[in-house]
Structure 1
Amino acid sequence: MSMLRNNSGKATAEVAAHVRDLEQKLERSELQAEVMPEELAAIKMKAEEAEAARDKELELLRKKSQDQEEKLAHLMALFGTKVV
């Protein structure tokens, strides 16, 4: 009988340890599930900020290019009138 009780106690301890392990894994999984949307939101925000910064840079480049074209057209007009 004592052998049976000993095996039963060992099996119960193993099951309890397994249950604790599963509970810990579940808790980690639930924490990850909570953190993931926050991480995704942060990544999305960073991507949107980078896109906005890129758009702003492109707009500045377009403006510089337009200013240079206007200056060049002005200079060409000045030289054109002097040549004629």
Structure 2
Amino acid sequence: ESQEIDQPDYDSVASDEDTDTDLRVGKADRAKSLDSDLSDGPISVQEFLEVKNALSASEAKIQELMKANSNLSEELRLMQKK
């Protein structure tokens, strides 16, 4: 697991405001999706694409967090050696 040390671990850092907005939007989306879940009919292409895009974004975020965790674990290991 050799990581290149001089590569940045992230492109940007989310501010608290960004996180708060994301949480509000996420709650609104969940409420909206719960309403649409009440029907057992077929979903629209738009709904499918929204869910697919949200899944892709979530998977990318998971990969980003896993990389950050790996880098931080390696950094901690190196610091504990000293």
Q: How high is the TM-score relative to the length of structure 1?
A: 0.45
Structure with the greater relative contact order (CA < 8 A, sep ≥ 6): 1 or 2? 2
